[in-house]
Homo-oligomer: A and B are copies of this chain.
């Protein structure tokens, strides 16, 4: 997942770790924070898998004095891998953790896959909503006040998210027709 995000980011330009992290943080803002504890290991994983490579040590002319940094760039296999991940978009693509990340890379995502992800996400949130509705109805008044409050808030926010997704989907469709 982090793998997906890093590959996506490196499509913009070659970057070093710190930069990737900042860029990602900027992109996802509230949605999800990635720590260096995942960043560097993932980077090495991608490198071992041949999906990224360290850019040669040239271009030192301009920016010397700068601290040692490793700039990574995508290999053709890396680009392919990113495309594959999108092509095989499935349930884990639209769970709470990844949906935001994928949305952030939508401009680099084919229209049909965009639609599949949006609809998958909608179904996922709708299911949660139904679960909450049922739970709230089932447990009449006898349940703990705070838990009830938690579920009420959860229900409301899933309802909002479904509405939001509907708008996104509608917009997507209108663009497709034009």
Binding site for B on A (CB under 8 A): 26-31, 100, 103-104, 106-107, 128-129, 131-132, 135, 144-147, 149-151, 153-158, 160-161, 164, 168
A-side interface mostly: helix
Q: How many copies does the complex hold?
A: 2
> Of all chain B residues, which has the CB nearest A168?
B149
User: Is A146 in contact with B104, judged by CB distance below 8 angstroms?
Assistant: yes
> Of all chain B residues, which has the CB nearest A104?
B147
Between A128, A131, A150, A168, the greatest number of chain B beta carbons within 10 A of the residue's beta carbon is seen for: A150
Given contacts A147-B104, A153-B164, contact A131 B27 (CB under 8 A): no
User: Is B107 in contact with A150, judged by CB distance below 8 angstroms?
Assistant: no
User: Is B100 in contact with A150, judged by CB distance below 8 angstroms?
Assistant: yes
